[in-house]
Amino acid sequence: MTPAPLHRATASPKPALIEAQAATRDALTAFIAERFAEVYGARLYCYLPRLFGLHGADAELLAAVGLRSAASGPLFLERYLDDPIEAWVAKRQARPVSRQQIVEVGNLAGATPGALRELIPMLCERLQVEGFQWVAFTGAARLCNGFSRLGLPLEIIAPAPIERLAEHERAAWGRYYDSAPSVMLGDIGNGSRLLRHQQCEGGDPLAALARVGAP
């Protein structure tokens, strides 16, 4: 009798973080806008210069995020600050810090909260490869708490009140500012090391992000 062939289970392909090009940028902005509209009733009009999509099987879009190097010009979040972002970092480091070392993250959106569990470590790795040392972004307290549960503490450096926006901009943000967002700062290298250490110990260090629900 000829033995039946063995069928090995095929591992699912890992999601890939891919930077949008001109032909794919519109799909990412539409995805981000839909999530902000769903969660906050916002009509998003501002997108960061570089957008990345987290793509799963069959190129399904799972999450998106935007980046802007502080070296390229003023950051959106600097409208909430009384001093340039590098001054805030330098004050905490007690040494000069270049804007080339700082990146703004924004337009964070996930098809599900759990999608961010896949996105965050890939993003940290990408930022390190590009030479950034500090990440700054605006988010609600639940986002900061989610990262803290990972052992990746973020420092809240300033509130982000809606009054810092021009009056004609405010209505478009819907309920976003009801969550009392803040400007947060994180050490990219330290965050990557902590994630790798926790993953080597066999745990699921990103489980906390499933409860963050950031759009």
CATH number at residue 165: 3.40.630.30
Residue 128 forms part of a structural domain: yes
The residue ranking higher by pLDDT, 121 or 94, is 94
Residue 155 forms part of a structural domain: yes
Judge whether 134 and 187 are in contact, CB under 8 Å: yes
Q: What is the per-residue pLDDT for 121?
A: 83
SS3 of residue 114 by DSSP: coil
| Mean of per-residue pLDDT scores for the chain | 84
Residue 208 forms part of a structural domain: no
Q: What is the per-residue pLDDT for 210?
A: 42
Residue 186 sits at the vertex; the CA angle it makes with 137 and 192, to the nearest 5 degrees, is 120
Give the side-chain half-sphere CA count within 13 A for 203. 13
Judge whether 165 and 80 are in contact, CB under 8 Å: no
Residue 3 forms part of a structural domain: no
pLDDT in tens, 158-191: 999 999 999 999 999 999 999 999 999 998 876 5
Q: What is the per-residue pLDDT for 1?
A: 47
Range of the domain at 25: 16-199
Residue 94 forms part of a structural domain: yes
Q: What is the per-residue pLDDT for 115?
A: 85
**pLDDT exceeds cutoff 70 at 6:** no
Residue 63 forms part of a structural domain: yes
Spatial distance between the Cα atoms of 211 and 114, rounded to a whole number of angstroms = 8
Q: What is the per-residue pLDDT for 193?
A: 56
User: pTM here?
Assistant: 0.83
Residue 1 forms part of a structural domain: no
Residue 213 forms part of a structural domain: no
CA distances from 40 to 106, 108, 159, 172, 173 (A): 15, 13, 19, 10, 7
Spatial distance between the Cα atoms of 106 and 108, rounded to a whole number of angstroms = 5
Number of domains in the chain: 1
pLDDT in tens, 51-82: 999 999 888 999 999 999 999 999 999 999 99
Name 112's bridge partners. Answer: none
Q: Which distant-in-sequence residues (6+ apart) come within 8 Å of 45 by Cβ? A: 169, 172
Judge whether 209 and 120 are in contact, CB under 8 Å: yes
**CA-based nearest residue to 181, from 115, 149, 150, 136:** 136
pLDDT in tens, 7-55: 444 556 788 999 999 999 999 999 999 999 999 999 998 899 999 999 9
